[in-house]
Amino acid sequence: MRSGEELDLARLRDYLEPVLGSVANAIEVKQFPGGHSNLTYLLSAGGQRWVLRRPPFGSKVKSAHDMSREYRILSALKDVFSFGPVPKHFCDDHDVIGCDFYLMSYIEGLVIRRQYPASLHLNSSQVRQQLLNFFDVLSELHSVDLAAAGLDSFGRPEGYVRRQVEGWCRRWVDSATPDTVAVDATMQWLHDNMPAESDMASVIHNDYKLDNVIFSAANPLDVIGVLDWEMATVGDPLMDLGCTLGYWVQLSDPEFFRESRTMPSDIKGAPTRREIIQRFQEKTGLSVDNFPFYFCFGLFRLCVIGQQIYYRYYHGHTKDERFAGFIKKAFVLQRMCELIISGEVVD
């Protein structure tokens, strides 16, 4: 476990004994190295494994780290969307580890981060199919029947686009530090170019990216799990697509943007954003008529998230040195927004 992010193991074992049985007394804990928001730990005992999720230390944004909300949406999806972890137990007793947390099933498989694993030898056609499968699972999530999942009253889909733009602009202001990049022009452009709502309200993940997905180790083209549901809600699926494409760096992008990529989407065989949009339209029946807005919003949202993370580091709420570099990432994302607004990057 990282310094400052340890769990009280003795107290946790005592609490979980009625939940997991006597095996809880032998629980050992390790922390997953990835992720910059909610914290994720692996619990192991008696040949069994579970995952524990808790909010980050020192976060100002309580609504983004609502464990009960995350637990509820996973509970609703478990019978209608086969890719989510199965929730096991929710705890709101802060005497245990100082915050809400929940347990879920552990899904073993392959997670792809900034680079493809050296042992994963995929040709360009396999890379293309793997990444198209990745987007097809997002389309499948957007096609979940809200009533069947019991989520027809979850979230507020009406007015979703405006609330997102206004909300992320407000979060930027709240997390600003003296060394932040200037984003006023981008925020104004997003306000001025908001499209009408799509005709579809869907379950949206809100942080769908490669390292939040687990591929099968036996067949690495197949998605078997989707993680990190902390920002999931019911809203406009086109905004969700834009959030994912905010991560999507392709071969034709400017070098400064490619250098900052967080997943290997700019390799031979990977579909372009234009190809992804076309496939998404075919799978969902939705039209993506204002792609520059959704792409710019996705980039700006990442800029804000990075700034929120950097804010915690700047004010000493976390000692995680990974967070120090997020200020540079904000400059890169804002520069890309400027190219979209000027029309220099169109897809």
Query: Could you give phi then psi for residue 196, rounded to 5 degrees?
Result: -70, 160
pLDDT of amino acid 61: 47
- What average pLDDT does the segment 113-119 reach? 90
Place of tokens 């959704």: 294
Classified by CATH at the fold level, domain 124-342 comes out as Aminoglycoside 3'-phosphotransferase; Chain: A, domain 2 (3.90.1200)
Query: How many Å apart are CA 276 and CA 246, to the nearest integer?
Result: 13
Task: Give the span between the Cα atoms of 213 and 219, in whole angstroms.
Answer: 14
pLDDT category at 64 given cuts 50, 70, 90 is low
Judged by average pLDDT, the poorest of 34-43, 139-148, 205-214, 226-235 is 34-43
Instruction: Report the pLDDT averaged over residues 110-129.
Output: 93
- Is residue 201 a contact partner of residue 235, using CB atoms and an 8 Å limit? yes
Instruction: Give the mean pLDDT of 61-87.
Output: 86
In whole angstroms, give the CA distance from residue 243 to residue 254: 19
* Distance separating alpha carbons of residues 223 and 246, to the nearest angstrom: 21
Asked if residue 75 lies in contact with residue 30, where contact means CB atoms within 8 angstroms, the answer is no
Residue boundaries of the structural domains of the chain: 9-105, 124-342
Beta bridge partners of 45: 48
Q: Which residues contact 41 (CB under 8 A, 6 or more apart)?
A: 1, 7, 29, 30, 31, 32, 51, 52, 53, 54
Mean pLDDT value of segment 14-37: 89
Lateral strand order in the sheet of 28-31: 28-31, 39-45, 48-54, 101-105, 87-91
Q: Which fold has domain 9-105?
A: Phosphorylase Kinase; domain 1 (3.30.200)
